[in-house]
């Protein structure tokens, strides 16, 4: 089991302005074995990670259940818990804009692929910006 904490933030595209934590939203962890289904939902050809990073689509509770997704809430400081089995995931960021309500259904703004090791995770950052969604281990 991978356990640790994550941080969700908006990347600044303006020189001199810092990145800022997201104040709400959801992080969806979908087992990588289901990447073809996530890509199809997003209308993106499988393997096109750059388009998946910008994919905007709705992910409902039936989709989440069918794909074995784990949804975790982002708190007001941009933090979220990470407690998932080790492995590769498609990590989607959802419900982050003011006009989005917390799902389900989840309003996805993009997804990224990440491998989570069995060892404790010091931190997982999931960010959204001009380059789409990016997920990185720290």
Total length of the chain: 138
> Tens of pLDDT along the chain (138 residues)?
888 889 999 988 877 788 899 999 999 999 999 999 999 999 988 766 678 999 999 989 999 999 999 999 999 999 999 989 999 999 999 998 877 778 789 999 999 999 998 776 668 999 999 889 999 987
CA 26 to chain centre: 7
pLDDT in tens, 91-104: 999 998 877 778 78
pLDDT in tens, 107-130: 999 999 999 987 766 689 999 998
Topology (CATH) of 2-11+21-137:
Immunoglobulin-like (2.60.40)
SS (H, E, C) 67-115: HCCEEEECCCCCEEEEEECCEEEEEEEECCCCCCCCCCCEEEEEEEEEE
pTM score of the predicted model? 0.92
């Amino acid at each position: 089991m991978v356990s640790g904490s994550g941080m969700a933030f908006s990347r600044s595209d303006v020189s001199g302005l810092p990145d800022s934590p997201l104040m709400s939203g959801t992080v969806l962890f979908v087992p990588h074995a289901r990447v073809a289904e996530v890509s199809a939902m997003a209308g993106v050809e499988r393997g096109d990670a750059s388009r998946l990073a910008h994919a905007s689509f709705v992910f409902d509770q039936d989709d989440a259940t069918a794909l074995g997704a784990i949804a975790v809430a982002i708190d007001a400081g941009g933090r979220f818990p990470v407690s998932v089995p080790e492995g590769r995931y498609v990590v989607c960021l959802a419900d982050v804009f003011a006009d989005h309500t917390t799902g389900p259904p989840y309003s996805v703004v993009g997804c990224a692929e990440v491998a989570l090791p069995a060892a404790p995770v010091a931190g997982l950052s999931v960010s959204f910006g001009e380059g789409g969604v990016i997920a990185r281990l720290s």
